[in-house]
Amino acid sequence: MTVRRADVHHSSSTWQQPVPRSASAERAALIEEVAKEILARGPGRLLVGVDGFTAAGKTSFGHELAEWIGNAGRPALRATLDDFKKPWKDRHLYDRESGEGYYRNAYDYELLRRLLLDPCRNPGADSCALCGIDPLTQRDHSAERSPLAPDAVLVVDGVFAFRPEVDSFWDYRIWIDIDAELSVRRGAERDQDWAGSDAESLHRDRYLVAERIYLDEVDPLPRMDALVDNTDFARPRLLPPPPPKRRRRPPITRRDDFDALVVRTDYTHEDGWRAVGAALAEDAELTAHIVDDPAWAGAEVDEVLAAVAADDELSVVFLADATTVASAPHALLAVTTTSRAECEDDEEYARLTEFGDRFRTIPAGVHGVHVNLSLGNMGFEEYAEAAGDDPERVFRGF
């Protein structure tokens, strides 16, 4: 069966690089492996962040990913964080030229959320802006809209992509890894035309300093879904993530066997969280063990799964994340707790995750999902398939 290629929409910014030709069969294979992992996250909209040192190859990798995804039949959108910087005309208002100033002040995260990330997270939105302000011409492109399909995959590249201001938006995180000195050398060579003799100092004294502040404060690498050694462009390879430096999460204990488990991971929308609690309380049949502890702020799915791994009676866990609390219907993220190791073979795990290892459900669906999975009345894949059939990719009942 021939898959019809879907559209890939790119930013209108002049700060663009062409889609690179395939450098090798090895690189093509790695791109395919990562792309398939991304698409396995589910049939709805997916947001992918690609980060790394300056000149690491983030934009090329993002382009290649989007092309593969489009060829696989899923519509894709490409954006770069450089198109969401603050305008140069306002640079006298803040330090943007030192390393720390660049890290603190160069990017407009409120603009990024409003024009791009919030619409992509809103099931009711049908368009978004892939560019705020062109970093070269300083032209405002915020009124130019690109279509948002229900199953679109947004791929965004740029430094500092996993700062706290935007980290909760990503469904899949990629770090393109190169040595710091190679970053300076590549960046200086790339920017020689416009930066001239200042190119090396610009990269060493501004961009590299900013990156080191970011790595020290945010420690993003342990959270990566894919860590790619891109030292040799033609022969990239996947690396294991380093041990985390982030704080320990508290244990999740004392859940009654009959209770559904709801873990709050977003603490930025109090009104939204209250709405989630009220919606859960409307279901008289539901008994839930709710983890409402700021120590779980920003927690990843894998962290929650690790915390409940010893709970043999738990089949599914529900996360109240940034998407849940942002807007109605306040759909929670339902994630299967069954790992590949707990399945008899690859075929069984493939069947379980045929429609992804997670889906969203309205609060009124939590009780039914929890009970039926716990008793074995239904399979996780049946709920995930039903969610995928919904226009907003949310399970609302059968």
Going by C-alpha positions, the residue among 58, 87, 94 that lies closest to residue 211 is 58
Last residue of a domain, one of 239, 274, 303: 239
pLDDT for position 319: 98
Q: Which residue has the higher pLDDT, 177 or 200?
A: 177
- Give a three-class secondary structure readout of the chain: CCCCCCCEECCCCCCCCCCCCCCCHHHHHHHHHHHHHHHCCCCCCEEEEEEECCCCCHHHHHHHHHHHHHHCCCCEEEEEHHHHECCHHHHHHCCCCCHHHHHHHCECHHHHHHHHHHHHHCCCCCEECCCCECCCCCCECCCCCEECCCCCEEEEECCCCCCCCCHHHCCEEEEEECCHHHHHHHHHHHCHHHHHHHHHHHHHHHHHHHHHHHHHHHCCHHHCCEEEECCCCCCCEEECCCCCCCCCCCCCCCCCCCCEEEEECCCCCHHHHHHHHHHHHCCCCCCEEEECCHHHCCCCHHHHHHHCCCCCCCCEEEEECHHHHHCCCCCEEEEECCCHHHCCCHHHHHHHCCCCCEEEECHHHHHHHHHHHHHCCCCHHHHHHHHHHCCCCEECCC
Q: Based on the domain organization, do 117 and 194 belong to the same domain?
A: yes
Q: Based on the domain organization, do 188 and 73 belong to the same domain?
A: yes
Question: Does residue 64 form part of some domain?
Answer: yes
Residues paired with residue 147 on neighbouring β-strands, in sequence order? 127
For the whole model, what pTM was predicted?
Answer: 0.64
Q: Based on the domain organization, do 126 and 200 belong to the same domain?
A: yes
How do residues 349-396 score in pLDDT, each as one tens digit?
A: 899 999 999 999 999 999 999 999 999 999 999 999 999 999 999 999
> Alpha carbon of 331 to those of 139, 263, 286, 392: distances in Å?
37, 13, 16, 10
How do residues 53-62 score in pLDDT, each as one tens digit?
A: 999 999 999 9
Q: Based on the domain organization, do 310 and 362 belong to the same domain?
A: yes
Q: Based on the domain organization, do 300 and 231 belong to the same domain?
A: no
Q: Based on the domain organization, do 165 and 264 belong to the same domain?
A: no
CA max distance for the chain: 70
Question: Does residue 367 form part of some domain?
Answer: yes
pLDDT for position 257: 86
Q: Based on the domain organization, do 303 and 342 belong to the same domain?
A: yes
CATH number at residue 125: 3.40.50.300
CB-count exposure of residue 30 (10 Å: 0-12, 13-18, 19+): buried
Domain that holds residue 313: 260-395
Residue holding tokens 């226009």?
391
For the cut 70, the answer to whether the pLDDT of residue 244 exceeds it is no
Question: Does residue 248 form part of some domain?
Answer: no
Q: Based on the domain organization, do 302 and 230 belong to the same domain?
A: no
CATH number at residue 306: 3.40.50
Q: Which residue has the higher pLDDT, 274 or 22?
A: 274
Question: Does residue 87 form part of some domain?
Answer: yes
Q: Which residue has the higher pLDDT, 47 or 191?
A: 47
CA–CA separation, 179 vs 293, rounded Å?
A: 38
CA–CA separation, 99 vs 325, rounded Å?
A: 35
How do residues 86-142 score in pLDDT, each as one tens digit?
A: 998 988 788 888 999 999 999 999 999 999 999 999 999 999 999 999 999 999 999
Q: Based on the domain organization, do 98 and 153 belong to the same domain?
A: yes
For the cut 80, the answer to whether the pLDDT of residue 285 exceeds it is yes
pLDDT for position 247: 60
Question: Does residue 235 form part of some domain?
Answer: yes
| Number of domains, the chain | 2
Question: Does residue 41 form part of some domain?
Answer: yes
Q: Based on the domain organization, do 228 and 322 belong to the same domain?
A: no
Going by C-alpha positions, the residue among 195, 187, 157 that lies closest to residue 173 is 157
How do residues 180-230 score in pLDDT, each as one tens digit?
A: 999 999 988 888 887 788 888 889 999 999 999 999 888 899 999 999 999
Average pLDDT over residues 20-30: 92
Last residue of a domain, one of 206, 239, 272: 239
Q: Based on the domain organization, do 194 and 283 belong to the same domain?
A: no
Last residue of a domain, one of 177, 209, 239: 239
Question: Does residue 180 form part of some domain?
Answer: yes
Q: Is the dihedral of CA 196, 198, 201, 203 positive or negative?
A: negative
Question: Does residue 251 form part of some domain?
Answer: no
pLDDT for position 230: 96
Q: Based on the domain organization, do 177 and 71 belong to the same domain?
A: yes
